């Protein structure tokens, strides 16, 4: 068990909003009477021209510092999860260290992972805290998938939105605040969600079947590993893929819908930022309170998946 905890989460969404009505104007042959019941998504935020993933992450981090009176000089680790970095090199986290005016003794690095990325980021930051390497880690997740999506790509354009999230992870005196973790990879699915020649390509049916097979297995593996029962979980926060995906996970696992958070309707699928954004939305809506036990589950591109338990430390 990792002796670490999440202390704060904030997020930022770009100002441009694209509704389904906007998409229908561009693509009059798209039947949103059929699309909306499947995706559950009515609008999404899209990064502007020249607005990068690091811009979204930096804004989320600045919001975290400001709203929670966090001294930026106390941050000693910056971890950035993205699949849309500003540059192939240098490391975008190094660029953000300067933008955020963090100390020069801050460890800063990127890792490339998609919809499971937040879980992996928590595992990395938590392990660093547990080992005494980090006292205050800033985990940033941000994506601008919209830059990879063709205007006529009905599968992707109706689902994905851009966004950034910032999470602060610190050591915990109490055990059981974060973890255990279940992590996994199946590279045979590498071509099912892939960017080739700057365009995103998704094999929707294959990804859906992977999800239906792997996510219930991952949930049950974590329950066994933690010695918990489904009834012990106060809130399930899945990667916010789409309505049809979460509907079927709920069906297969026979989950109580009141314990499943959904926050995709107005922002879409924000990839690695989706789980932290959903956690913050859940707090804002009173769906999670201090002491609640949440299960976080990410899954997708790679194929990659991960899950963790989280004892919520937020405001009561």
pLDDT in tens, 105-163: 999 999 999 999 999 999 999 999 999 999 999 999 999 999 999 999 999 999 999 99
- 137 and 205 together in one domain: no
- 154 and 189 together in one domain: no
Burial degree of 180 (CB within 10 A; 0-12, 13-18, 19+): middle
- 136 and 195 together in one domain: no
Residue range 176-198: average pLDDT? Answer: 95
- 100 and 217 together in one domain: no
Residue range 30-51: average pLDDT? Answer: 96
Q: Is 115 noted as a catalytic residue in this protein?
A: yes
Q: How many Cβ atoms from other residues are within 10 Å of residue 197's Cβ?
A: 6
| Average pLDDT taken over every residue of the chain | 96
Rounded Cα–Cα distance for residues 162 and 147 (Å): 9
Here the CATH number for the domain that contains residue 237 is 3.40.47.10
User: What's the token pair of residue 123?
Assistant: 């595992």
The pLDDT score that the predictor gives to residue 315 is 61
With b meaning 16 or more CB within 10 Å and e meaning fewer, what string describes 85-103? bbeeeebbbbbbbeebebe
Q: Which residue in 8, 45, 81, 239 is the catalytic one?
A: 239
Residues 64-107: tens digit of each pLDDT: 999 999 999 999 999 999 999 999 999 999 999 999 999 999 99
Q: Is 3 noted as a catalytic residue in this protein?
A: no
Look at residue 316 and tell me if it is in a domain: no
The pLDDT score that the predictor gives to residue 316 is 43
- 216 and 151 together in one domain: no
Q: Of 108, 142, 171, which residue constitutes the final position of a domain?
A: 171
Range of the domain at 223: 178-311
Q: Which residue in 81, 115, 141, 218 is the catalytic one?
A: 115
Helices (H), the chain: 20-26, 32-39, 53-67, 92-99, 117-130, 154-157, 204-226, 243-253, 274-284
- When pLDDT is cut at 50, 70 and 90, the band that residue 175 belongs to is confident
- 182 and 263 together in one domain: yes
The pLDDT score that the predictor gives to residue 87 is 92
- 281 and 298 together in one domain: yes
Q: With a cut of 60, say whether residue 165 has pLDDT above it.
A: yes
Q: Is 45 noted as a catalytic residue in this protein?
A: no
The pLDDT score that the predictor gives to residue 174 is 86
Number of domains in the chain: 2
> Helix (H, G, I), strand (E, B), or coil: what is residue 297?
strand
Q: With a cut of 80, say whether residue 62 has pLDDT above it.
A: yes
Q: Of 151, 171, 191, which residue constitutes the final position of a domain?
A: 171
- 282 and 164 together in one domain: no
Residues 288-308: tens digit of each pLDDT: 999 999 999 999 999 999 999
Distance, first Cα to last Cα, the chain: 24
Residue range 258-268: average pLDDT? Answer: 98
- 149 and 18 together in one domain: yes
- Cβ atoms 295, 222 nearer than 8 A: yes
The percentage of residues in the chain with a pLDDT greater than 70, rounded to a whole number, is 99
């Amino acid at each position: 068990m990792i002796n670490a905890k999440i202390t704060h989460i904030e997020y930022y969404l770009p100002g441009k909003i694209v509704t389904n009505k906007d998409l229908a104007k561009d693509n009059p042959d798209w039947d949103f009477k059929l699309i909306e019941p499947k995706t559950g998504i009515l609008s999404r935020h899209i990064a502007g021209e020249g607005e990068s993933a690091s811009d979204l992450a930096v804004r989320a981090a600045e919001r975290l510092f400001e709203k929670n009176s966090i001294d930026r000089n106390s941050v000693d680790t910056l971890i950035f999860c993205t699949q849309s970095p500003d540059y192939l090199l240098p490391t975008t986290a190094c660029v953000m260290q300067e933008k955020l005016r963090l100390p020069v003794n801050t460890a800063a690095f990127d890792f490339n992972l998609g919809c499971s990325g937040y879980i992996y980021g928590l595992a990395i930051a938590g392990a660093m805290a547990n080992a005494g390497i980090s006292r205050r880690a800033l985990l940033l997740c941000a994506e601008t998938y919209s830059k990879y999506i063709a205007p006529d790509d009905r599968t992707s354009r109706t689902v994905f939105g851009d966004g950034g999230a910032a999470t602060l992870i610190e050591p915990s005196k109490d055990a059981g605040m974060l973890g255990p973790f279940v992590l996994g990879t199946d590279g045979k699915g590498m071509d099912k969600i892939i960017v080739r020649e700057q365009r995103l390509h998704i094999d929707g049916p294959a990804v859906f079947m992977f999800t239906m097979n792997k996510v219930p297995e991952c949930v049950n593996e974590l329950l066994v590993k933690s010695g918990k029962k489904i009834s012990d979980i106060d809130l399930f926060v899945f990667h916010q893929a789409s309505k049809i995906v979460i509907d079927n996970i709920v069906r297969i696992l026979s989950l109580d819908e009141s314990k499943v958070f959904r926050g995709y309707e107005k922002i879409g699928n924000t990839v690695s930022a989706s789980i932290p954004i959903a956690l913050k939305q859940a707090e804002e809506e009173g769906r999670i309170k201090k002491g609640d036990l949440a299960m976080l589950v990410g899954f997708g591109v790679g194929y990659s998946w991960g899950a963790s338990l989280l004892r919520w430390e937020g405001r009561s």
